[in-house]
A = this chain, B = another copy of it.
Amino acid sequence: MRDVDHSASGPWHTGIGESIDGVSTMSFANLLQDVRTRVDADLAKWLAPKVIGAAAISAPVGHAAEAVRDLSLRGGKRMRAALVAVGYEAYATPGSSWEICVPAMVANELLQTYLLIHDDWMDDDDTRRGGPSTHVVLRKQWDNRALGDAGAILAGDLACGWAQEALLQSEVAPERVLRAARAFARIQSTVVCGQIAEMTADPDALTPSVETVHDLKTSSYTVTGPLLVGAALAGGMDEQALTRFGRPLGVAFQLRDDLLGTFGDPSVTGKPIWNDVRQRKRTGLVAELLRDASGLEVWKRGEVEPIVRAMESGAKARVEARVTELLAEARTALAAMTTITEAGRIHLEGAVSALGERAS
């Protein structure tokens, strides 16, 4: 799984069409900044007593808790937390503030920590957010590879339990918290199914489709889920409409990630170029490449540079067109949402460009 915590200070790609304007883009960027400041502070505050409690059991339990804390606090764009705020705002009564969502934001960030820890172990990735991944930390700390691996799985499980605890501390009416908790549980089941689907998919075949996997892995977890959690906390019940908006935006977000992974500027994205191809990752570009016989042949031969060149000749443009199409679909879904607040609409529009048209 990609950690999509790119720097919030990167340039926002704009000028896509008349439906986006600088106001919603800037407004969303400001919201993201405010949310990040608040969530960074509250994550630290929430986790501090947990780490103390864990360390009181034994030093190694403390180490596992510290690893959860360190990864949670190290970077993280807090995009999901911002989308909780946007979902809340879209259904909130005048005068109420997204700050009531802070426990749910902390929960979404801890859910991400949990998934990243398990994912890094599965992918044998040594680094995450500019530091060592959790299994690397614990292997070294406990001077034992198998113990460090088991510790990382348990550290992830701990973050998962804490995520639920945080969400359930939301201070709104019980039926709202309950609805948010249901949406939150579905994020977990959905993203995990997506991860299994991706991990086990034949890299040379088109089923399950890349978009199906992107939808399962990304749409619920990154877009629809956080929006639904926020909306539920505000008393909003418009699940279908938010899903119609979130599904295409989530897939577009992941396809944009695929494009940036192969054709992005490493100095802007912070990611090594062509890694996806090298790792034979089943991206949207691969799906397009495999649609014709010559592309399939190049892909199967496995040489990186020829694959990238072949992608450049058609697959790239088709994926870009598909992103544009999906973003238009999200905007159409947004236009059909007639009962949301104006602040919510502006930020949902801003989210479309932030997620779908980013350059980093």
Contacts and interface: CB of A to CB of B under 8 A. Distances in A.
Interface of A: 54, 57-58, 60-61, 64, 118, 121-122, 142, 147, 150-151, 153-155, 157-158, 160-162, 164-165, 168, 173-175, 177-178, 181-182, 184-186, 188-189, 192-193, 195-197, 199-201, 207-208, 212, 216
Contact of A200 (B60, B175, B186): B60
A-B CB proximity, top 6 nearest: A60-B200, A161-B188, A161-B189, A164-B185, A174-B174, A174-B175
Give the number of times this chain occurs in the complex, counting copies: 2
A18 to B, nearest CB: 38
B61 A200 contact: yes
A174 B185 contact: no
A178 to B, nearest CB: 5
A54 B122 contact: no
Given A58-B197, A60-B196, A154-B195, 13 more contacts: A57-B208, A60-B197, A122-B153, A142-B200, A154-B192, A154-B196, A158-B189, A160-B188, A161-B186, A161-B188, A164-B181, A164-B185, A173-B174
A161 B199 contact: no
Given A178-B177, A196-B64, A186 B165 contact: yes
A135 to B, nearest CB: 12
A174 B142 CA distance: 44
B118 A193 contact: no
Contact of A158 (B168, B192, B201): B192
* Residue of A61, A173, A216 with highest tally of chain B CB at under 10 A: A61
A189 B155 CA distance: 10
A193 B160 contact: no
A165 B154 CA distance: 21
Contacts of A195: 154
A36 B201 CA distance: 38
Contacts of A181: 164, 168, 178, 181
Nearest to A182: B168
Nearest to A56: B208
24 contacts: A57-B212, A58-B196, A58-B200, A58-B201, A60-B200, A122-B153, A150-B199, A151-B200, A154-B192, A154-B199, A157-B188, A157-B192, A158-B189, A158-B192, A158-B196, A160-B160, A161-B186, A161-B192, A165-B185, A168-B182, A174-B175, A174-B177, A177-B178, A181-B181
Given A153-B153, A174-B178, A193 B54 contact: yes
Which of A150, A157, A161: most chain B CB closer than 10 A?
A: A157
A153 B123 CA distance: 13
Given A175-B174, A178-B174, A178-B177, A197 B57 contact: yes
A171 B121 CA distance: 38
